[in-house]
Amino acid sequence: MTDERLSQRIVAVLQKTFPKRSGAVALHEPDFSGNEWNYVKECIDTGWVSSAGKYVDKFEKELAEFTGAPYAVAVVNGTAALHISLLLAGVQAGHEVMIPSLTFVATANAVSYCGAVPHFAEVSPETLGLDAKLLDAYLRDITTVNANGDTINKKTNRVISAIVPMHTFGHPADLDALAEVCERYKLTLIEDAAESLGSYYKNRHTGTYGLFGAFSFNGNKIITTGGGGAIVTADRELALQAKHLTTTAKAAHRWAFWHDQIGYNYRMPNLNAALGCAQLERLSGMISEKRKLAEAYRERFREVDEVRIQTEPAHSASNYWLNALILKRPDSDERDRILGAAHEAGFLLRPIWTPMHKLPMYRSSPSMPLPLTEMLEKSVVNLPSGSDLMGELSEWGTERFA
């Protein structure tokens, strides 16, 4: 069977799945079918569109309630959430932070904003997130402990201060095992939960295992505030510090401008928070629809032997932010043929990110061997995954997902 026939068969499954779609089928589109317009219009009508207004506090409270985190701090985007989390966790210039190479660039960039160095680690085939067993063995080989109790990279003589797992496509990383690695090497666990709002590891929401969790509400996420993010934590003092730092470190006063340290203008505007409040009202329903869509994809791609659909790891419930179609035989040419054929047919599939260790600004960063990461780069294609797509499904087996 030729390579071209595989791409054609994948497109045929998509066409059979969404036969009535008149326009292009995007990777992930926002859904504004609730109170979004009403809440945003209220901000416009009252003039409370920027740094003050009721919706920021409301969004933080409701996000904390949904995730089970004691505190949530809304910020301008997920990268800002990671940046502040790293700073408050004590990551300093010259430190190293263990992160997956298979991630969106924001994870590495946030480390760099601290003057620290991203140190790239391998992922697991079950989770597509950090592989705790491989990481443990690697750290055992390359690290020592100095007189202050710091974990030191013997090759670079730099302190390794934190581990940042990323919950890839909404699938939770193995948090218990990663927490054990952190404890063994005295490292801080900070979760990049940008993609995993609504995902649970052993019945506990992602982002609540580490000292901090960082979420994103970009336009392509499961819910959106337009641009936005949030920090969650169980530590009240750290939450207060996060709020202070992200609002330019300005002391509260009726009129005086007094800033007591270098702060960041990372606050989320009221207008964005209003959008987020409306989105949160429908989040549970969105997750339900996305999980049904993931099941439909698994059933419908069974007939294509050369591929598989990534499923949620054991002990986890994923939001299936993006559905990953994985070639059983990694081949970047084949991947590109699939992408090209799908785009020509109106299905806007995407590849996975270029691994961080291949990007020009990070090629000199330390890295463990990354064979699976490089295989996944050649074999992952993301399918259209919006929560609105269940309504577009054909009658082809739809009753199984009702």
Q: CA-based Rg of the chain, rounded to a whole angstrom?
A: 22
Which of 25-29, 49-53, 199-203 shows the lowest mean pLDDT across its residues? 49-53
Residue 311 has pLDDT above 90, yes or no: yes
pLDDT band at 4 (very low <50, low <70, confident <90, very high): low
Q: Which class for 242: exposed (0-12), middle (13-18), buried (19 or more C-beta within 10 A)?
A: buried
Model confidence, pTM: 0.95
Q: Cβ of 82: how many Cβ atoms within 10 Å?
A: 34
Higher pLDDT, 290 or 395: 290
Higher pLDDT, 388 or 217: 217
Residue 400 has pLDDT above 60, yes or no: no
pLDDT in tens, 216-264: 999 999 999 999 999 999 999 999 999 999 999 999 999 999 999 999 9
Q: Cβ of 281: how many Cβ atoms within 10 Å?
A: 15
pLDDT of amino acid 19: 86
pLDDT of amino acid 393: 76
Residue 1 has pLDDT above 50, yes or no: no
Averaged pLDDT for residues 130-158? 97
Averaged pLDDT for residues 346-373? 98
Averaged pLDDT for residues 21-50? 93
Which strands form 350-351's sheet, in the order they lie side by side? 307-309, 323-327, 380-383, 350-351
pLDDT of amino acid 395: 66
d(CA 42, CA 63): 21
pLDDT, the chain, mean: 95
pLDDT in tens, 252-283: 999 999 999 999 999 999 999 999 999 999 99
Q: Domains of the chain: which residue ranges?
A: 3-27+283-401, 36-281
- Domain 36-281 is of which CATH architecture? 3-Layer(aba) Sandwich (3.40)
Assign domain 3-27+283-401 one CATH number from 3.30.565.10, 3.40.50.620, 3.90.1150.10, 3.40.50.1110. 3.90.1150.10
pLDDT of amino acid 397: 54
pLDDT of amino acid 196: 98
User: What is the Cβ-side half-sphere exposure of residue 383, based on CA atoms within 13 angstroms?
Assistant: 28
pLDDT band at 52 (very low <50, low <70, confident <90, very high): confident
pLDDT of amino acid 391: 77
pLDDT in tens, 146-172: 999 999 999 999 999 999 999 999 999
Amino acid (one-letter) located at 9 = R
